[in-house]
Amino acid sequence: MDNWDEIRTAFHVARMGTVSGAADVLGVHHATVIRHVDALEARLGVKLFQRHPRGYTSTEAGRDLLQVAQATDDQFAQLVSRLRGQGDGVEGELAVTTLDTLADLVMPLLIDFQAEYPAVIVRLLTGTRLFRLEYGEAHVAIRAGAAPDQPDNVVQPLMQMQVVLVGARSYIARHGLPGGVEDLPQHRFVCSDDMESRAPFYRWLRETVPAERIAFRAYGERNQRDAVLAGAGLGFVPLHEAQAREDLTIVHGPLPEWEVPIWVVTHVDLHRTPKVQAFLKALKERAKSWS
């Protein structure tokens, strides 16, 4: 593509809204920006921008071009990230994505790994977003549930996460402890905001207590845990967290049917790189103490 520089210039004009702003981002003179935009419009035979005293506003054709250029720019940035991950040593950026509920286990591992390999720059990515390994958004993903089936990924079992039903000290002080499963319908519960959640422990809860007793619903594992800790109701946390916190009491479980399979996922292009292999070895060894 012999006019990529012109497209890139127009992309930044659309982003910044002014010629001077685009020139600053690109590190060129503002006259170069104007020349690129004028040449691209002449080449395409359409107006990409409406000029006005305060800057440039994209036309419909300009917005179409911006969308394509944005996608191309994003994919190029992700390609650069993947290429950087293919170095020969255990160095550079290492991006690991995991569940909120496992972050407290993964964090010490990453700190120890960085102490052993000080040239590594760690990025820990958590939350509900599914980071795309094929675009270089992460080098290693730790995921839960059914085995991931995205093409070109290497998927390996890591562990079975045990889950328990707990109550916070403040909840128990107000409502008491259930004497057994038969008492649960008299209590209040914290649950996922998705009432169709496929998590096995939430399915069990929906089958065990009336829907109106699920009185506090929250989006995201961290919010659900925080609601339980604040005493909003009984709720589910990983066994390792319940055992580590003095302010939580295990009410029921763990049950085998509540266990959640945990997988470690890497992209085939990066799986054999020294950095990823070194981290996978450290992760699998540490996970032996998590199960």
DSSP string, the chain: -TTHHHHHHHHHHHHHSSHHHHHHHHTS-HHHHHHHHHHHHHHHTS--EEEETTEEEE-HHHHHHHHHHHHHHHHHHHHHHHHHTT-SSS-EEEEEE--GGGHHHHHHHHHHHHHHSTTEEEEEE-SS----GGGTS-SEEEEESSPP--TTEEEEEEEEE-EEEEEEHHHHHHH---SSGGGGGGS-EEEES-TT---HHHHHHHHHS-GGGEEEEESSHHHHHHHHHTTSSBEEEEHHHHHH-TTEEEEE---GGG-EEEEEEEETTTTTSHHHHHHHHHHHHHHTTT-
| Ranges of the chain whose pLDDT falls below 50 | 1
pLDDT at 187: 98
pLDDT at 191: 96
Its pTM stands at: 0.69
